[in-house]
Chain A
């Protein structure tokens, strides 16, 4: 079922609840992500960020509420229009960089051999690993594996990217490089949803959702969040909302 404004909304989450047994991972969460921006899901470990991303790629189904991605309920039919980078590197370590990227290109529907070869090359060049393309993943550093993992997520040119903590373990230089890639993709109209628990990442996003205990406690651009709270850093802004929420509860 398509949502009414599916052309401008990449993701529409409405009152979603999800539980792992007795643990409530998402608690009536609602969120709308416009197309073509970088959207950050910020929050501590256990806030529900990974659960939310897994719902968006269709790995989990909400117990209550609705999720729409690019105007449709997430399924394997929407999967070819979504690029997913999980928290783990999730690569075939025996295979080379090129073989990994090629495999994900094929299963995401790039059937034309010439087009696929070009896309694979372009993507590996984009993450600056072309000179290492025939090396097996086992020979790569953690940062290089992150770049291969990103390449596997973007090789089929999806309009929506879901990246679960993509910058974890990256050195500052590589982190900047990643965000440059993301900005380039935004310029091409790609929507990027990034989960993170570091405020360095938050500053790069066009829009943020602060998450805690399976709920969104605040939402807006980094400037709005700082301005509304009168804080100079996003970290302080996040803590302001946490304290406000705890104050409301008390």
Chain B
């Protein structure tokens, strides 16, 4: 039973809150990016259609990046070694960081969502709270993916190399830019193993077709499954030993 997960989460939250520059960037950067994207689509109709895919991608991207880099920093500064030499378990560490980073990823997602809808004036059909809940599931998977991936990187440069490796294929293979149906069969098959496909499909169904969370149960289930699998993998790969 993880005894110290909340203690670690509290520390992660306090640590990020004291870093005002990072907080400012967490708030400002998504708004700047979304503004540029919004301006690049002069026709509102096109933006309405692409908004669900953009929202899913942004959430995945920012949550993965925030967690991956922050978690890696813990290891390069030696604080992870100290933590692993204490009575905390690996599950404590993974859950602690998950809860801690989740809060900031959640805030960032809410900013992206509200900015997209109220500032960029994107039209949608589904309930706003259902869109947000669906995104929360994407965040949980992305945060765990960030933790899991960072265990394979020894420094920030290596971590940055994982961005094109892990995020770019998802953008191209999951229907963000062009419909999946237009891709070769084997790429469509590959796309079925990538979480962003289910994030994009689910959000499209809610935002463009007005479906509910119950209607997109399959996509939700896959994303929850992805979160569980990445949690387990992150816990297993987080070695107690040095550098892990």
Contact = CB atoms under 8 A, between A and B. Distances in A.
Interface string A16-49: 0000000000000000000000000000000000
A108 B86 contact: yes
Contact of B241 (A59, A79, A109): A59
Interface residues of A, number: 31
Interface in A84-119: 84, 86-95, 99, 103-104, 106-109
Given A95-B15, A95-B18, A109 B77 contact: no
Contact of B86 (A87, A89, A104): A104
Interface in B1-29: 4, 7-8, 11, 14-16, 18-19
Contact of A92 (B7, B11, B84, B241): B11
Q: Which of B15, B85, B89 has the most CB of A within 10 A?
A: B85
A136 B19 CA distance: 10
Interface SS of chain B: loop
Given A99-B14, A107-B4, A107-B83, A90 B78 contact: yes
Given A59-B241, A90-B81, A106-B4, A79 B87 contact: yes
B242 interface: yes
A77 interface: yes
Q: Which of B19, B79, B86 has the most CB of A within 10 A?
A: B86
B82 A76 contact: no
Interface residues of B, number: 24
Interface SS of chain A: loop
16 contacts: A59-B241, A76-B240, A79-B85, A84-B86, A86-B85, A90-B79, A91-B77, A92-B11, A94-B19, A95-B11, A103-B11, A107-B4, A107-B7, A107-B86, A108-B86, A108-B87
Interface of A: 54, 57-61, 76-77, 79-80, 82, 84, 86-95, 99, 103-104, 106-109, 136, 152
Given A59-B84, A80-B86, 18 more contacts: A58-B85, A59-B81, A59-B240, A60-B241, A60-B242, A61-B241, A76-B86, A77-B87, A84-B85, A90-B78, A91-B77, A92-B11, A103-B11, A104-B82, A107-B87, A108-B87, A136-B18, A152-B82
Interface of B: 4, 7-8, 11, 14-16, 18-19, 77-79, 81-89, 240-242
